[in-house]
Structures are given as structure tokens and as C-alpha cells.
Amino acid sequence: MLDVIQIEMQACEPSANRHRAWRVEAGQDLFGLWSARVTFGRIGCAGRSLSKIFPTEAAAHAFVRSGLRRRQTSVRRFGVPYRLVAASPAATPLLEITGVIAPSAPLAEQEHC
């Protein structure tokens, strides 16, 4: 894939035994199709992976945005916020739009759980 969007987030609360990870990779392949692969599950385990193919870049970006918005509701759903662990520079616009990072904030590696 060329110009790949990669985002990794984690939600950790050891006292409640909650250790969740979510990772998405999206980009265009050599044939011009856009695809996204989401891997999620407990930190330290293989987890589950889902792959999807999209006809346009806009559709792929919408899919990633919806996943990021879902991560923002984690406090309401299970009491632990997701935090950004790593992201590629190509992911910056999506992270800014969804409010995961402030506009023009540098992407820095944060602490792991």
C-alpha cells in the first residue's frame, strides 16, 4: 500500500482488568482500490482482524473516522478512555477532524499500558 494511514490506540485500567487495543491501517493498493484492516482485542493477545475494500478514498476515510468516533465513546461504554499510542503522518487530518488530537499538534509516541 502507498501512503498508508496507521493508527494505534489503547484503553488500559489495570484495577478494572481492562486492557484493550485497536489498530487500523488504510491505504490504496497498486490496483487503485482502497482497503482498511482493523485489528482489535485484548492487549497481548492475537485479537480479531477485519478487512474491507472501498471504491473511493472518501469511503475509506469515512470508515476510519467512524472507528475513531466509536473509540471516543469508550468511557461511556466501559469506563476507560482510549489513548493514541502511535499514528502515521497520513493519519493527522483524520485524528484532527475527530478530535483525537488538537489541530496542528505534533504526533508523539505516548506511553503504553
The model's pLDDT over 72-85, given as tens digits with 9 standing for 90+, comes to: 999 888 889 999 99
* Alpha carbons 109 and 9: distance in angstroms, whole number: 11
Determine the pLDDT at residue 1: 45
* Alpha carbons 17 and 91: distance in angstroms, whole number: 30
The model's pLDDT over 22-74, given as tens digits with 9 standing for 90+, comes to: 999 999 988 889 999 999 999 989 899 999 999 999 999 999 999 999 999 99
In single-letter form, the type of residue at position 103 comes to P
- Using a cut of 0.75, tell me whether the model's pTM lies above it: yes
What are residue 66's phi and psi, to 5 degrees? -65, -35
40: β partners: 22, 48
pLDDT tops 70 at residue 105: no
